[in-house]
Amino acid sequence: MSHGIARTNKVTKALTLDDDNSATDVDACFTVAGTVKLHALYLEVTGGTTLTNATAVYFDLYSANGSTVLTKADGALSGKDAGFMMYKNDVLTVTGAYIDPSAAPVVTEEATADLSLEHECFVTEDRTAGAHVATTIRLHHTSSDTSPAHNQTVIVHCEWEAKSADGALVAV
């Protein structure tokens, strides 16, 4: 019996959140093939105009046959500057957790098994009727900021491990 060390991969996707006027924006971040285990999924604000009102921020897994939330659809980026982070830290029905260094330094530690930057889950490509169906991890956000449109820059990070022979996750 082989006891190899699991190979963890990391992929990132840079985005500019530039919708306005009560628009809901959905950005494809990563394409999923086969089955992968997500070790960490998080968003880091890197710069741009601070958003006045950006709500309903969440991740989902999407194919043409439907979608499943990865974090509850009630996260917020309103008033968050560079250094702010939102990460998946619990079951699908829980809001992504936050690290916000805008007022003071931050230490995030694992108080319980549910509070971790590495809350793991499995995601699988849609294979309806045995066919490969394009499957993506997406970022949703809604803003009522008005023109000029905001232009906050973020990087979405995903640490993952292949769990099937064809398991892969790549930036879109």
Distance CA 38, CA 154 (A): 20
What tokens appear for 29 in the block?
């971040």
- What stretch of H or E contains 33? strand 23-33
- Partnered with residue 44 across adjacent β-strands are 85, 155
The predicted model scores a pTM of: 0.78
pLDDT given at position 138? 93
Q: pLDDT digits over 67-119, tens only?
A: 888 877 777 777 788 888 887 655 544 455 555 555 544 444 444 444 444 45
Query: CA-CA distances (angstroms) from residue 163 to 2, 3, 134, 154, 168?
Result: 15, 15, 18, 28, 9
pLDDT digits (tens, 9 = 90+) for 115-142: 444 456 778 888 888 888 899 999 988 8
Burial of residue 77 (number of CB atoms within 10 Å: 0-12, 13-18, 19+): buried
Residue 133 — φ and ψ, nearest 5°?
A: -115, 125
Whether 62 shows a pLDDT value over 60: the answer reads yes
CB 163 within 8 A of CB 100: no
Exposed (0-12), middle (13-18) or buried (19+): which is 7, by Cβ within 10 Å? exposed
Is 1.10.8 the CATH classification of the domain at 9-171?
Answer: no
Over residues 1-58, the pLDDT tens digits come to: 445 556 789 999 999 887 665 667 889 999 998 888 888 888 888 987 777 777 788 8
Q: Taking the domains of the chain in order of start, what are their residue ranges?
A: 9-171
Write out the two tokens for 164: 């099937």
